[in-house]
Each structure stands twice: as structure tokens, then as C-alpha cells.
């Protein structure tokens, strides 16, 4: 009686004959196994360098890579130390930061073929002069002790981070067609195997 008044039609869905039978599929016909990610691995980016040469190489590369972050760290600590007592020094620090920011924005705004800003006047020289002028202004406004204390507290932290931090694209070995004589044909090998990285 349950089928009274209904018409039974044959099923139009074909039974799967592929090896994916029994596994759920999405609308594109792919199984969940196609989307499986590699297993999760916790990688610590800190390690002790194997030699003094490796430590110096890490310092140079990390200072170049994290220069903006290290500068911000030192600037924030200096700013905090100047807030309670040295208002004039604080204002001069902010003004010199503004000048450096304007110079960097000017570099970005000018096209790369503008010869004066990009070739003759090196960015590192100008920023170094701005830092030196800021230090002289801080010493002239009797905030030299704050500057020395800030540098004594932050530079060891920055160097410690630079020594122990291993970047993903940090290279430590050489391989290739060189005969050990330091000639060409060598290529850097990344520290992390890219075939096992999680995308």
C-alpha cells in the first residue's frame, strides 16, 4: 500500500566503476584524497650556528633582511625612554623620522630611471646621515645618556636575534660544478627542502 499511486522509474545514476567507489566526491569529480595536505610539521626558525663564519653570515643576511624591523624596535625603545623627561629631544626624534620617511617616499615616487636619486645619491648614505644628525641632535639636547642606554639595551638583542634566526631562504652549502677552487658554477643550496614545505 505504501507504493499505491506512485510510479517507479528506473534510476538514471550509473553506479561508479572507477577505483574511487565508496569515497566521497565533490561537484568537480575529485575525491577528498586529491585535496589532502601534507602533514603538519612544527619547524623552529631558531638554531645555533655551526661555526663563527656561519654566525657572521647569518648576522649580515638577517641585518639586511630585518633592517626595518630592527630599526623600529630601537626607535620605539628610544621613544619610550625619551617620553618622561626629554620633550624637546622627542620632538626632534619625530621630526627626523618624518624627514627620513619623506625621503623614502620620494624615492618610491620617482621613476627608476631618475638618475640623481637612484644612482648618484645612495639611499644608505642619506639614511646614515639622517641617523647621524639625529644622534647629534639628541646629544645636543642632553639626551645622549638616553641614547647610549637605549643602544646598549637593544643592540645585543638585535644581534642575538640575527645570530640565531634561520630564514627559509638562508643558504649554507654550495654544490655544483666548482672544483673547490672558488670558481664559478657553484650554486647555493637552501637550508629547508622546498619539496616538503607546506603551501
For the chain, the residue count is 199
Per-residue model confidence (pLDDT) at position 125: 85
Mean pLDDT of 136-144: 91
Q: Is residue 12 assigned to a domain? A: no
Please tell me the predicted confidence (pLDDT) of residue 123.
Answer: 79
User: How far, CA to CA in Å, does 61 sit from each of 102, 114, 164, 188?
Assistant: 26, 28, 12, 14
Confirm whether 34 is domain-assigned: no
Indicate whether 38 pLDDT > 80.
Answer: no
Domain of residue 87, residue span: 56-171
Query: Has residue 31 got a pLDDT over 70?
Result: no
Answer yes or no: is 124 within a domain. yes
pLDDT(105) > 50: yes
Which of 49-58, 107-116, 181-190 has the largest mean confidence? 49-58
Could you tell me if residue 38 is inside a domain? no
Tell me if 78 sits within 8 A of 89, measured CB to CB: no
Write the DSSP assignment of 76-132 as a string of letters: HHHHHHHTTT-HHHHHHHHHHHHHHHHHHHHHHHS-TT-HIIIIIS-HHHHHHHHHH
The pLDDT assigned to 136 comes to: 93
Q: Is residue 199 part of a domain?
A: no
- Taking the C-alpha atoms of residue 90 and residue 83, their distance in angstroms, rounded to an integer, is 7
The answer to whether residue 18 is domain-embedded is: no
Confidence of residue 91 (pLDDT cuts 50, 70, 90): very high
Residue 160 confidence class, pLDDT cut points 50, 70, 90: very high
- The total domain count for the chain is 1
The answer to whether 154 touches 74, Cβ cutoff 8 Å, is: yes
In a domain, 130, yes or no: yes
Average pLDDT over residues 59-84: 91
Q: Does 42 reside within a domain?
A: no
pLDDT interval class at 85 (50, 70, 90): confident
| Residue 76, pLDDT above cutoff 80 | yes
Amino acid at each position: 500500500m505504501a507504493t499505491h499511486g506512485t510510479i517507479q522509474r528506473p534510476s538514471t545514476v550509473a553506479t561508479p566503476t572507477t577505483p574511487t567507489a565508496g569515497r566521497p566526491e565533490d561537484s568537480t569529480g575529485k575525491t577528498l584524497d586529491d585535496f589532502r595536505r601534507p602533514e603538519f610539521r612544527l619547524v623552529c626558525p631558531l638554531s645555533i650556528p655551526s661555526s663563527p663564519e656561519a654566525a657572521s653570515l647569518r648576522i649580515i643576511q638577517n641585518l639586511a633582511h630585518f633592517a626595518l624591523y630592527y630599526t623600529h624596535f630601537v626607535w620605539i625603545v628610544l621613544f619610550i625612554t625619551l617620553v618622561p623627561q626629554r620633550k624637546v629631544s622627542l620632538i626632534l626624534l619625530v621630526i627626523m623620522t618624518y624627514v627620513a620617511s619623506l625621503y623614502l617616499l620620494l624615492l618610491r615616487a620617482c621613476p627608476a630611471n631618475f638618475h640623481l636619486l637612484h644612482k648618484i645619491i645612495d639611499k644608505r648614505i642619506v639614511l646614515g646621515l639622517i641617523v647621524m644628525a639625529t644622534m647629534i641632535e639628541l646629544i645636543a639636547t642632553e639626551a645622549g645618556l638616553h641614547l647610549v642606554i637605549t643602544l646598549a639595551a637593544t643592540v645585543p638583542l638585535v644581534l642575538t636575534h640575527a645570530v640565531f634566526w634561520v630564514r627559509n631562504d638562508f643558504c649554507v652549502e654550495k654544490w655544483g660544478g666548482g672544483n673547490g677552487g672558488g670558481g664559478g658554477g657553484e650554486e647555493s643550496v637552501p637550508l629547508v627542502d622546498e619539496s616538503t614545505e607546506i603551501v
